[in-house]
């Protein structure tokens, strides 16, 4: 059975996961599913979804200020220029998740992202090219054919910590799909933005 929408104490109906605690409500109401076409913001979401693997999203949300400080506000070029010395420094930083593989992956993926943006015109053009056709939502699934194809292609390009599940969560978070429950107040808002959105093109 599909999880139900819930009625919050403020009178708003939300996706079952997005009502509480307050961190989730703020993220659900203000960010999740809203279309993103800025390359640095897309990179941030990709990195954070990778760090979330094996952890709760709440853990990532509460450390996001630390991640932003540690990784130069996710400026792709600045992250790509980080060194092994930066890795060692960050492994001592309690404001982030101190996982060597994921820290090193972030720097590697920034370098691969620069290459990809040069080829595709922008990261946005690349990622949005995986937007599925049709209006169906897939909140009960962990992957999709599009996320599987995206993950496979990113791996081919040298990206790490981006499997099909991470890729699908990234697509949900960035509005490439609208997976708010239809009963959720945010569904119509996100869909309205998606309807008028000028999709970034890929050459």
Catalytically annotated residues? 27, 49, 57
Strand pairing report for 6-7 and 13-14: antiparallel
Structure tokens at 182: 């239809």
CA-wise closest residue to 132 among 149, 150, 143, 146 = 146
Q: Which residues are CB-contacts of 84 (< 8 A; sequence separation ≥ 6)? A: none
Indicate the helix (H) or strand (E) that contains 14: strand 13-14
- Helices 145-156 & 164-173, crossing angle to 10 degrees? 110
User: Is the distance from CB of 18 to CB of 24 less than 8 angstroms?
Assistant: yes
Task: Please list the helix, strand and coil fractions of the chain in percent, rounded to the nearest 5, in that order.
Answer: 55, 0, 40
User: Is the distance from CB of 138 to CB of 181 less than 8 angstroms?
Assistant: no
User: Is the distance from CB of 90 to CB of 47 less than 8 angstroms?
Assistant: no
């Amino acid at each position: 059975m599909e999880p139900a929408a819930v009625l919050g104490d403020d009178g708003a109906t939300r996706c079952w996961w997005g009502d509480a605690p307050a961190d989730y409500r703020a993220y659900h109401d203000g960010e999740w599913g809203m279309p993103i076409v800025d390359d640095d913001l897309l990179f941030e979401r990709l990195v954070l979804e990778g760090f979330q693997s094996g952890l709760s999203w709440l853990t990532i949300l509460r450390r996001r200020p630390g991640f932003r400080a540690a990784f130069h506000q996710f400026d792709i070029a600045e992250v790509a220029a980080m060194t092994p010395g930066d890795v060692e420094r960050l492994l001592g930083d309690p404001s982030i998740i101190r996982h060597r593989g994921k820290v090193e992956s972030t720097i590697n993926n920034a370098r691969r992202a620069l290459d990809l943006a040069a080829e595709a015109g922008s990261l946005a053009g690349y990622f949005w090219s995986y937007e599925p056709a049709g209006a169906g939502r897939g909140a009960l699934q962990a992957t999709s054919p599009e996320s599987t194809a995206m993950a496979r292609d990113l791996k081919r390009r040298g990206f790490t910590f981006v499997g099909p599940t991470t890729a699908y969560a990234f697509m949900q978070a960035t509005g490439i799909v609208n997976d708010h429950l239809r009963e959720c107040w945010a569904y119509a808002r996100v869909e309205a933005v998606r309807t008028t959105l000028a999709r970034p093109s890929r050459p």
